[in-house]
């Protein structure tokens, strides 16, 4: 089932439509898919996903998310429950100085009965592996932990779609791994994951990669098809993943691997095959 | 991590820690009234005894509880001098131009400073034994009657909660901006007052700008989690007051009453 379906979406931050942040974007995301939207700063990826939960008003085109027309003002509220979002800066999304109260914020907005709240806060914390941190102040946590708490606040509402709007951009490698691990776990549990990033390594494990540049979708397809395409990635201003770069460098030096590897493991495998051949 | 400068919550399980925040805030107001109402020797003896008892009941180190008094000692000294020199009382001891040092003035000065110190210690006792969030929830329920005259009490409560949550973040940011400015030659540590004052302006502007940016991001994050103004949210927990809370309220009300009777 198609969960996000957009046609010809255009958007401008200027009053007079003098320059467009999005230009004629078509998009389709299936239920349960793990989609990575990849692009440089200013490519329009963040602007695009802010349409999915109607944080930005659709100006041109059509967009339906979870069968809801995002232009329908009446259903925006329901839409935001079904489509949760974790933002880039962990420090700018907390409303309370106690973890459990912050997670309860969304539940309170949806008038969840008071007696149900503690249990839902607990299970959300367990999902992000932060049990035992209920009484802590968010500012005493590490970057990765903060993002996991912010994610717990979103998960407490039991959304269908979870959008990570560059949620790992401000984290150190350890923190990025923590968040990536939880992303994969949620995907396995059947959630639809949409992650925005400019780290090409994070796109390797996705079901689908959507490559954006200058407000347009350049290409969309499997990580293998997108991330190994030298010209396409160059056009988007992205660096190739290390194994892919190595594959092309080796080829230039006259060493031909059978397949272009995406991960370190695949690279090792290819090199081993090369050895056994020679 | 940055900590709050004074009056920061210190975890504990003393009698004062366990009282309900609503009861503690109401008691604070009653005791402030008692301090302001004290006029005789016995009146002050009563408030002093009350505050000493509270200090003992709080289980806090005395040094921590009176720290904010030391912090503003210069300010207190100025208040004392202003009262002593400008108060127009009888029994003038000496005059220089517009200044008159009188017995009444000195008494008045000591009374004002004494009241300030006592109120400061009381306020400090509240914040050191109560979590900021408990203070917020308590304030929210105490200001509820203001809803009748059109004050958006739920919104005010959220604003207070968000403001408290952002204090450490903004302190950290201030420190960072200060360092970047020092690295470029700002002189926050200069002995010259004019240089120090001038160096603070370039600090204020970036902090303002970044606060606005943070506020904008936060409002997006709040909307994304379904926050809508003018909409019913789940009502906060209604914790009934315990017998200890009622006892504390009655004792404080009695102290306040005795004070007013002695005065009258």
pLDDT in tens, A37-50: 999 999 999 999 99
Do B123 and B137 lie in one domain? The reply is no
The answer to whether residue B145 sits within a structural domain is: yes
Q: Do A97 and B132 touch (CB under 8 A)?
A: yes
CB B262 within 8 A of CB B42: yes
**What angle is formed at CA B225 by the lines to CA B219 and CA B230, rounded to 5 degrees?**
70
Do A155 and A266 lie in one domain? The reply is no
Do B117 and B195 lie in one domain? The reply is no
pLDDT of B86 strictly over 90: no
Do B124 and B38 lie in one domain? The reply is yes
Do B172 and B225 lie in one domain? The reply is yes
Do A269 and A159 lie in one domain? The reply is no
Mean pLDDT highest for which of A261-265, B69-73, B147-151?
Answer: A261-265
**Distance between CA atoms of residues A37 and A58, nearest Å:** 19
The residues, any chain, with a CB within 8 Å of residue B28's CB and separated by 6 or more, are B122, B123, B126
Q: b/e per residue, B152-165, with b = 16+ CB within 10 A?
A: ebbebbbebbbebb
Residues from B contacting A (CB-CB < 8 Å) are 1, 131-133, 158, 161-162, 164-165, 168-169, 172, 214, 217-218, 220-228, 231-235, 237
The answer to whether residue B163 sits within a structural domain is: yes
**Distance between CA atoms of residues B47 and B42, nearest Å:** 9
* pLDDT attached to residue B6: 57
Whole-angstrom CA distances from B66 to A6, A169, B69, B125, B246 are 63, 44, 6, 9, 27
Do A126 and A263 lie in one domain? The reply is no
Using the Cβ of A138 and the Cβ atoms of chain B, whether some distance falls under 8 Å is answered with yes
How confident is the prediction for chain B on average, in pLDDT?
85
The answer to whether residue B201 sits within a structural domain is: yes
Give the three-state DSSP class for A204: coil
Q: How many CB atoms sit inside 10 A of residue A128's CB? A: 25
Element (H, E) at A28: strand A22-30
pLDDT of B114 strictly over 80: yes
Do A119 and A192 lie in one domain? The reply is yes
* pLDDT attached to residue B1: 38
CB-nearest partner of B234 from A91, A94, A111: A111
Q: How many CB atoms sit inside 10 A of residue A60's CB? A: 14
Q: Do A80 and B225 touch (CB under 8 A)?
A: yes
What are A268's two structure tokens?
A: 């090792």
pLDDT of B4 strictly over 60: no
What are A17's two structure tokens?
A: 């439509």
ipTM of the modeled complex: 0.87
The answer to whether residue B139 sits within a structural domain is: yes
How confident is the prediction for chain A on average, in pLDDT?
92
Do B16 and B118 lie in one domain? The reply is yes
Taking CB atoms and an 8 Å cutoff, what residues of chain A touch B1? Answer: 139-140
Higher-confidence residue of B180 and B8: namely B180
* Mean pLDDT confidence for A22-40: 95
Taking CB atoms and an 8 Å cutoff, what residues of chain A touch B220? Answer: 50, 55, 87
The answer to whether residue B238 sits within a structural domain is: no
Mutate which: B158, B170, B225, B234, vs A, most A CBs within 10 A: B225
CB A159 within 8 A of CB A183: no
In tens, the pLDDT along B182-208 reads: 888 777 777 777 777 777 777 888 889
Do A190 and A251 lie in one domain? The reply is no
Residue B7 falls in which region: left (phi positive, over 0), alpha (psi -120 to 50) or beta: left
Domain span at residue A272 reads 241-278
The residues, any chain, with a CB within 8 Å of residue A249's CB and separated by 6 or more, are none
Nearest partner of A164 among A146, A189, A144, A147, judged by Cα:
A147
CB-nearest partner of A110 from B1, B132, B226: B226
Do A160 and A186 lie in one domain? The reply is yes
**Distance between CA atoms of residues B217 and B174, nearest Å:** 19
Domain span at residue B73 reads 1-130+249-264
Mean pLDDT highest for which of A2-6, A201-205, B172-176?
Answer: A2-6
The answer to whether residue B239 sits within a structural domain is: no
Higher-confidence residue of A137 and A32: namely A32
The answer to whether residue B242 sits within a structural domain is: no
Higher-confidence residue of A36 and B168: namely A36
Q: How many CB atoms sit inside 10 A of residue A206's CB? A: 24
**Distance between CA atoms of residues B29 and B22, nearest Å:** 11
* Mean pLDDT confidence for B106-133: 89
Q: b/e per residue, B89-122, with b = 16+ CB within 10 A?
A: beeeeeeeeeebbbebbbebbeebbbbbbbebbb
What are A96's two structure tokens?
A: 């309370």
What are B174's two structure tokens?
A: 């201030």
Q: What is the band of B50 on the pLDDT scale with cuts at 50, 70, 90?
A: very high
Q: Do A97 and B161 touch (CB under 8 A)?
A: yes
Do B151 and B51 lie in one domain? The reply is no
Do A79 and A139 lie in one domain? The reply is yes
Q: What is the CATH number of the domain that holds A223?
A: 3.40.50.300
Do A236 and A265 lie in one domain? The reply is no
Nearest CA in chain A to B235: A114
Q: Do A95 and B222 touch (CB under 8 A)?
A: yes
**Distance between CA atoms of residues A249 and B92, nearest Å:** 96
Do B114 and B220 lie in one domain? The reply is no
Do B64 and B49 lie in one domain? The reply is yes
CB B215 within 8 A of CB A64: no
Do A90 and A171 lie in one domain? The reply is yes
Do B126 and B253 lie in one domain? The reply is yes
Q: Quote the number of domains for chain B.
A: 2
Q: Quote the number of domains for chain A.
A: 2
The answer to whether residue B156 sits within a structural domain is: yes
CB B251 within 8 A of CB B15: no
Nearest partner of A145 among A131, A164, A162, judged by Cα:
A131
* pLDDT attached to residue A275: 78
Q: Do A80 and B237 touch (CB under 8 A)?
A: no
Do B191 and B201 lie in one domain? The reply is yes
Do B225 and B253 lie in one domain? The reply is no
Do A129 and A256 lie in one domain? The reply is no
* Mean pLDDT confidence for A218-229: 94
In tens, the pLDDT along A76-130 reads: 999 999 999 999 998 999 998 889 989 999 999 999 998 999 999 999 999 999 9
Whole-angstrom CA distances from B255 to A54, B36, B44, B70 are 57, 12, 11, 27
CB A216 within 8 A of CB A44: yes
CB B160 within 8 A of CB B134: no
């Amino acid at each position: 089932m198609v969960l996000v379906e957009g046609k010809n979406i255009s958007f401008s931050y200027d009053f007079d439509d003098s320059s467009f942040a999005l230009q004629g974007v078509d998009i389709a995301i299936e239920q349960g898919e793990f989609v990575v939207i990849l692009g440089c700063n200013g490519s329009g990826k963040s602007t695009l996903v802010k349409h999915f939960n109607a944080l930005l008003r659709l100006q041109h085109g059509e967009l339906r998310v979870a069968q809801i027309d995002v232009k329908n003002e009446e259903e925006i509220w329901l839409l935001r429950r079904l489509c949760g979002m974790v933002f880039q800066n962990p420090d700018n999304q907390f409303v309370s100085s106690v973890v459990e109260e912050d997670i309860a914020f969304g539940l309170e907005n949806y008038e969840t009965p008071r007696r149900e709240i503690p249990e839902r806060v607990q299970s959300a914390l367990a999902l992000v592996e932060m049990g035992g941190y209920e009484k802590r102040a968010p500012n005493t946590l590490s970057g990765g932990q903060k993002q996991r708490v912010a994610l717990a606040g979103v998960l407490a509402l039991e959304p269908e779609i979870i959008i990570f709007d560059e949620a790992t951009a401000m984290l150190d490698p350890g923190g990025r791994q923590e968040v990536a691990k939880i992303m994969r776990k949620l995907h396995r549990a059947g959630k639809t994951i949409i992650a925005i990033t400019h780290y090409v390594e994070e796109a390797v494990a996705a079901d689908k990669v959507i490559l954006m540049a200058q407000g347009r979708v350049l290409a969309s397809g499997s990580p293998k098809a997108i991330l190994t395409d030298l010209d396409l990635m160059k056009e988007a201003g992205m660096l190739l993943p290390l194994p892919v770069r190595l594959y092309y460098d080796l080829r230039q030096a006259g060493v031909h691997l059978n397949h272009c590897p995406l991960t370190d493991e695949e690279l090792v495998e290819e090199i081993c095959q090369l050895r056994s051949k020679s | 991590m940055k900590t709050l400068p004074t009056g920061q919550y210190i975890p504990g399980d003393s009698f004062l820690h366990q009282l309900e925040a609503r009861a503690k805030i109401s008691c604070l107001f009653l005791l402030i009234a008692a301090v302001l109402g004290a006029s005789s020797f016995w009146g002050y003896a009563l408030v002093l005894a009350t505050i000493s008892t509270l200090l003992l009941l709080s289980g806090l180190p005395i040094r921590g509880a009176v720290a904010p008094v030391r912090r503003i000692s210069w300010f207190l000294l100025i208040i004392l001098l202003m009262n002593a020199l400008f108060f127009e009382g009888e029994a003038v001891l000496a005059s220089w131009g517009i200044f008159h040092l009188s017995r009444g003035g000195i008494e008045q000065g000591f009374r004002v400073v004494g009241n300030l110190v006592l109120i400061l210690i009381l306020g400090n006792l509240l914040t050191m034994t109560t979590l900021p969030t408990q203070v917020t929830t308590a304030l929210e329920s105490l200001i509820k009657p203001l809803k009748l005259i059109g004050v958006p009490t739920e919104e005010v409560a959220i604003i207070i909660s968000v403001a408290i949550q952002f204090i450490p973040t903004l302190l950290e940011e201030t420190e960072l901006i200060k360092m970047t400015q020092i690295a470029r030659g700002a002189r926050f540590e200069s002995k010259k007052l004019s240089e120090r004052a001038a160096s603070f302006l370039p600090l204020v502007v970036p902090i303002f700008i970044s606060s606005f940016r943070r506020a904008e991001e936060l409002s997006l994050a709040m909307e994304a989690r379904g926050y809508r103004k003018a909409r019913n949210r789940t009502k906060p927990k209604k914790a009934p007051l315990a017998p200890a809370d009622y006892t504390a309220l009655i004792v404080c009300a009695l102290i306040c009453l005795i004070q007013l009777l002695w005065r009258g």
